[in-house]
């Protein structure tokens, strides 16, 4: 029941259409309509993620979607990085606006001028706020629903501290939050890379990004956390008074999980040739009841099925499919949409006192006594979550490769992709031409070095320039 890897793109496009996840016919290029079958799962992911942030001391806020041109332009690297992809608002009604505005592509320049007003003394720190909602970026690359679009839904957390040490601790905490949510809760494996200096978030000191792999072996960036140092604090005057009465610039971090993109990874990681498979706690339908009707027994079977629906609805998101379609048609439909457990009930089942229970991920069938259904389904849900994560982990860990030459790298990339470890000269700005060379030769991008595991290559040469290698980098094709 695997996804054919060569046909991943085709599989993805047909699932998002057939399972009614989004509609591509909206008449603005790069914008899609997210339909209820996806929006319900996305809302559930949002709630879990927001809870995880709040448990760690963040509070929610809502900042305006529009940002003044003046704010955007304050931080030199930031404006350089984002200006090419912002949407501008230049008119209102019949008036040309005196001060142009941008639709937020990210909210540093909306939030930090306010932080400057709110933070005075040490007692105002740490300040940890997040907001949830859409951002807009004028993507010029090919767009793909949920993966890359001109509008996406995310959470952005923006934190402020008195010391560099506290800010670095926040970066590590963001990584823990990522592990808890993306891996433990959603079952999606990833590696945290420290991005090379030429590929970090515009205006940051360092960027640490969690990359997963889609079934075709190409990397997809999931949440990233950024050490901002006091780059933005200096520009927006985010300061506090220390114990001696001296003004000090604050240290800042920001963290951005894109929930709509994580949804794409969720669908891709767990799906199979029949369609969507979702972890039990995220599935729109945890239980779908399909009555097996024959002429003459309809009333009896349906009334039994309604009783089951009422009982199971107390515990699970449950639906009874009592429509006129054949059972086989209904099975396919609900498998495509990722209903976690199917309960079949016909006349013979009623007589034997057992329903047929079918688990979505493995297709396993079992006869379960009616009065044990709820208990058994709870257990199946737990088993499903663990086994989906383990299956994804097993595949992911087999996608790590190594190469010492461009030719080896090209072969590894063409033969299933994955993350290929390569010796490299440097991840400072001077290394960028080498990354360009790798891209030209192998259509692969340098994603960075593995966080927390700094291996030093010994006696190896940079894969691109042939100088002494000082660091290992990981290369992959990317979305
Ligand atoms: Zn080099």
Q: In this structure, are 316 and 420 located in the same domain?
A: no
The residue among 337, 358, 384 that closes a domain is: 384
Q: In this structure, are 130 and 199 located in the same domain?
A: yes
Residue 301 lies in a domain: yes
- CA 467 to centroid of ligand 1, rounded, Å: 6
Residue 2 lies in a domain: no
Cβ distance 423 to 463 under 8 Å? yes
- CA 282 to centroid of ligand 1, rounded, Å: 44
Q: Which of 187, 179, 178 is nearest to 385 (CA)?
A: 187
Residue 364 lies in a domain: yes
Cβ distance 315 to 374 under 8 Å? yes
- CA 206 to centroid of ligand 1, rounded, Å: 20
Please report, in tens digits, the pLDDT of each residue of the chain (479 residues total).
577 777 999 999 999 999 999 999 999 999 999 999 999 999 999 999 999 999 999 999 999 999 999 999 998 888 999 999 999 999 999 999 999 999 999 999 999 999 999 999 999 999 999 999 999 999 988 889 999 999 999 999 999 999 999 999 999 999 999 999 999 999 999 999 999 999 999 999 999 999 999 999 999 999 999 999 999 999 999 999 998 999 999 999 999 999 999 999 999 999 999 999 999 999 999 999 999 999 999 999 999 999 999 999 999 999 999 999 999 999 999 999 999 999 999 999 999 999 999 999 999 999 999 999 999 999 999 999 999 999 999 999 999 999 999 999 999 999 999 999 999 999 999 999 999 999 999 999 999 999 987 788 999 999 999 999 999 999 999 99
What was the pLDDT predicted at 183? 98
Q: In this structure, are 324 and 453 located in the same domain?
A: no
Q: In this structure, are 163 and 254 located in the same domain?
A: yes
What was the pLDDT predicted at 454? 74
Q: What are the distances in angstroms from CA 428 to CA 205, 286, 296, 447, 470? A: 12, 49, 76, 13, 11
What was the pLDDT predicted at 336? 97
pTM metric for this prediction: 0.96
- CA 289 to centroid of ligand 1, rounded, Å: 60
What's 345's domain CATH number?
Answer: 3.40.50.800
Q: In this structure, are 140 and 27 located in the same domain?
A: yes
Q: In this structure, are 323 and 189 located in the same domain?
A: no
Residue 3 lies in a domain: no
Q: In this structure, are 101 and 220 located in the same domain?
A: yes
The residue among 339, 355, 384 that closes a domain is: 384
- CA 80 to centroid of ligand 1, rounded, Å: 25
Give the number of other CB atoms < 10 A from CB of residue 123.
Answer: 8
Report the C-alpha gap between 258 and 401 in whole angstroms.
Answer: 28
Phi and psi, residue 300, nearest 5°: -60, -50
Residue 210 lies in a domain: yes
Give the number of other CB atoms < 10 A from CB of residue 59.
Answer: 11
- CA 463 to centroid of ligand 1, rounded, Å: 7
Q: In this structure, are 351 and 455 located in the same domain?
A: no
Give the torsion through C-alpha atoms of 294, 283, 263, 265, to 10 deg. Answer: -80
The residue among 328, 360, 384 that closes a domain is: 384
Number of domains in the chain: 3
- CA 20 to centroid of ligand 1, rounded, Å: 46
Q: In this structure, are 344 and 409 located in the same domain?
A: no
Q: In this structure, are 207 and 303 located in the same domain?
A: no
Residue 470 lies in a domain: yes
What was the pLDDT predicted at 142? 84
- The edge-to-edge listing of strands for the beta sheet with 341-346 is 318-320, 287-292, 341-346, 354-359, 365-369
- CA 197 to centroid of ligand 1, rounded, Å: 14
- CA 464 to centroid of ligand 1, rounded, Å: 5
What's 51's domain CATH number?
Answer: 3.30.930.10
- CA 430 to centroid of ligand 1, rounded, Å: 8
- CA 456 to centroid of ligand 1, rounded, Å: 15
Q: In this structure, are 69 and 200 located in the same domain?
A: yes
Domain that holds residue 352: 287-384
Residue 393 lies in a domain: no
What's 421's domain CATH number?
Answer: 3.30.110.30
Residue 280 lies in a domain: no
- CA 426 to centroid of ligand 1, rounded, Å: 7
Report the C-alpha gap between 474 and 210 in whole angstroms.
Answer: 13
Q: In this structure, are 143 and 292 located in the same domain?
A: no
- CA 421 to centroid of ligand 1, rounded, Å: 14
Cβ distance 104 to 133 under 8 Å? no
- CA 195 to centroid of ligand 1, rounded, Å: 16
CB under 8 A, 24+ apart: contacts of 403-411: 403/463, 403/475, 404/460, 404/461, 404/463, 405/463, 406/437, 406/438, 406/441, 406/442, 406/463, 406/464, 409/438, 409/441, 409/442, 409/444, 409/463, 409/475, 410/441, 410/442, 410/444
């Amino acid at each position: 029941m695997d996804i054919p890897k060569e046909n991943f793109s085709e599989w993805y496009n047909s699932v998002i259409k057939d399972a009614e996840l989004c509609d591509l016919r909206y008449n603005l290029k790069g914008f899609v309509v997210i339909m209820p079958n996806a929006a319900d799962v996305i809302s559930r992911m949002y709630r879990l993620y927001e809870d995880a942030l709040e448990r760690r001391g963040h509070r929610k806020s809502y900042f305006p979607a529009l940002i003044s041109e003046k704010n955007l332009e304050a931080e030199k690297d930031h404006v350089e990085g984002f200006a090419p992809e912002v949407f501008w608002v230049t008119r209102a009604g019949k008036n040309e606006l005196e001060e142009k505005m941008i639709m937020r592509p990210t909210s540093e320049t909306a939030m930090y001028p306010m932080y400057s007003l709110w933070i005075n003394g040490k007692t105002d720190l740490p300040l940890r706020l997040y907001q949830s909602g859409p951002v807009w970026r004028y993507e010029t690359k090919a767009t793909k629903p949920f993966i890359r679009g001109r509008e996406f839904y995310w959470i952005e957390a923006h934190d402020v501290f008195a010391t560099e040490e506290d800010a670095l601790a926040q970066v590590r905490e963001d990584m823990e939050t990522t592990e808890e949510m993306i891996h433990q809760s959603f079952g999606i494996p990833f590696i945290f890379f420290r991005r090379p200096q030429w590929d970090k978030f515009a205006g940051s000191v360092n960027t640490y990004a969690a990359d997963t792999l889609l079934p075709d072996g190409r990397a997809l960036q999931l949440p990233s956390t950024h050490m901002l140092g006091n780059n933005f604090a200096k520009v927006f005057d985010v300061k506090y008074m220390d114990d001696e009465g001296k003004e000090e610039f604050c240290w800042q971090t920001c963290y951005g999980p894109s929930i709509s993109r994580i949804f794409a990874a969720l669908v891709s990681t767990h799906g199979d040739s029949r369609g969507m498979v979702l972890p039990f706690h995220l599935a729109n339908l945890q239980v779908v009841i399909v009555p097996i009707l024959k002429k003459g027994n309809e009333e009896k079977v349906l009334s039994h099925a309604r009783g089951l629906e009422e009982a199971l609805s107390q515990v699970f998101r449950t639906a009874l499919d009592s429509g006129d379609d054949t059972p086989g048609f209904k099975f396919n439909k609900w498998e495509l949409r990722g209903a976690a457990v199917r309960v079949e009930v016909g006349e013979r089942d009623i007589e034997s006192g057992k329903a047929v229970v079918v688990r979505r991920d493995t297709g396993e069938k079992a006869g379960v006594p009616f009065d044990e259904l709820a208990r058994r389904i709870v257990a199946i849900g737990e088993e499903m979550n663990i086994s989906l994560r383990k299956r994804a982990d097993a595949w992911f860990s087999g996608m790590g490769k190594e190469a010492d030459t461009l030719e080896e790298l090209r072969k590894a990339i063409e033969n299933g992709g994955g993350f290929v470890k390569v010796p490299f000269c440097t991840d400072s700005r001077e290394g960028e031409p080498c990354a360009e060379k790798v891209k030209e030769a192998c259509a692969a991008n340098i994603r960075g070095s593995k966080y927390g595991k700094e291996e030093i290559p010994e006696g190896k040469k940079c894969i691109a320039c042939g100088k002494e290698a000082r660091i290992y980098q990981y290369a992959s094709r990317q979305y």
